[in-house]
Structure 1
């Protein structure tokens, strides 16, 4: 369920989504926002480290303008969805790939998938990518992210499942 903080951004998300031909994905965008920030803070889409952020520091929570965060996040998601060949809001298999690309970085993630002949998301392939991307650096078992985001010190290896629990296409 999307909380009231995220729902309060629905009209903003609808406006920006329309600008980028993403209107069919407003509920997915809000689900992503729910996972990223629960609608809290100014970088509600946690998009400051992405390629579309050219105005703020590319560091965690670097964006201090909610509308800009939404615009950057929607563009990042659209790019990742194009890489995943998402055909519509019900194409969950491709949406899973797109979401993982949003979390890991679309270019590097999709290059890895192509190089390894991987065509669908799985926890195993996500962990295998994170192992390489982390330089084989494991999270400590005491790290709160170990259980929630995966054993490798890179991104959230369960990200699609975490976003999709808030999404009802």
Structure 2
């Protein structure tokens, strides 16, 4: 069983890059993401009365960040495109032009998803959260996470599907 941990400097330093990545996926702008992480940490430090296990601390911080985002979003904040989240890479393993084009299409499709669906996909796919952790983070039942995640994946597939659909053959009506 993990031992409880305080909200100390060393612990926060290990979680800040993940919080920043999640924030950037939500707000699409590095400066706004940093502001969101800062507001999250301020709120966490103000309410850090209990010792948390590392997993619970991580879920708690991501939950605060997501709720902070929702609060700001409800106040009418406008968010820009997600462009650099998946950027970077190794020069030795440079992707092919086709993979780059597919990545751009996927990112463009990802950007069209509602913030709730982007958050679900990122928490599960990028951050590696379990469905239970996502449910706790977002404050919804696990079944809701599963159904919303299925819809988010379906919407992403539909939005990023660049292959033309085969034309249906014309049918002749026989009487």
The TM-score by the shorter chain falls in which range?
under 0.3
TM-score by length of 1: 0.26
TM-score by length of 2: 0.26
Query: Of the two, which has the highest radius of gyration?
Result: 2
Q: Which of the two has greater helix per residue?
A: 2
Q: Answer 1 or 2: higher relative contact order, Cα 8 Å, separation at least 6.
A: 2
